[in-house]
Amino acid sequence: MARLQDPWPSRRGTARCGPDMNAGSRCGQRRLACALSAALVASASFAASAEARLPGETHWPAATRPAATHWAKAALWPTEVHWAAEARSYLQKWKTITKSRTVTGEEELRVRISYGAGVLTVRPATDRNLLYQARIRFDEDAVLPKLDYENGRLRVGVASLEGRRARGLGREGREDKLDLRLPTSVPVDLDISFGAGHAELDLTGVPLERMEMSTGASESVVRIDEPNPMLMESAVFEVGAADFRISGLGNLNAERVAVRAGVGAVTLDLQGSWQTEARLVVDMGLGALMLRVPESLGVRVRRDAPRFLASFDLDGMVKRDDGHYSLNWDDADHKLDIEITAALGSVDLRWVP
Start-to-end C-alpha separation, the chain: 79
Q: How many other C-beta atoms lie within 10 A of the C-beta of residue 337?
A: 16
Q: What is the pLDDT along the chain (353 residues), one digit of tens a residue?
A: 444 444 444 444 444 444 444 444 445 545 544 444 444 444 444 444 444 444 444 444 444 444 444 444 444 444 444 444 444 444 568 999 999 999 999 999 999 999 999 999 999 999 999 999 999 999 988 889 999 999 999 999 998 876 455 444 444 446 899 999 999 999 999 999 999 999 999 999 999 999 999 999 999 999 999 999 999 999 999 999 889 999 999 999 999 999 999 999 999 999 999 988 999 999 998 889 999 999 999 999 998 766 566 788 888 899 998 899 999 999 999 999 999 988 788 899 999 99
Which DSSP string do the residues of 139-158 spell out, in sequence order? Answer: ETTTEEEEEEEETTEEEEEE
What local confidence, expressed as pLDDT, does residue 204 receive? 98
CB 206 within 8 A of CB 248: no
Q: How many other C-beta atoms lie within 10 A of the C-beta of residue 172?
A: 7
What local confidence, expressed as pLDDT, does residue 306 receive? 60
What local confidence, expressed as pLDDT, does residue 7 receive? 45
What local confidence, expressed as pLDDT, does residue 51 receive? 42
**What's the full length of the chain, in residues?**
353
What local confidence, expressed as pLDDT, does residue 313 receive? 80
Alpha-carbon gap, residue 125 to 148, rounded angstroms = 18
What local confidence, expressed as pLDDT, does residue 349 receive? 93
Does the domain spanning 94-352 belong to CATH 2.160.20? yes
CB 91 within 8 A of CB 133: no
Domain positions in the chain are 26-91, 94-352
Q: How far from 249 is each of 31, 103, 225, 298, 312, CA to CA, in Å?
A: 54, 28, 9, 15, 22
Q: How far from 239 is each of 13, 138, 197, 220, 339, CA to CA, in Å?
A: 50, 25, 13, 9, 17
The DSSP code for 58 is -
192-224: per-residue pLDDT in tens? 999 999 999 999 999 999 999 999 999 999 999
What local confidence, expressed as pLDDT, does residue 343 receive? 76
Name the CA radius of gyration of the chain, rounded: 30
Q: How far from 278 is each of 46, 75, 98, 281, 341, CA to CA, in Å?
A: 83, 66, 39, 10, 18
Beta bridge partners of 145: 158
The DSSP code for 249 is G
What local confidence, expressed as pLDDT, does residue 161 receive? 78
Strand bridging mode 94-102 / 130-139: antiparallel
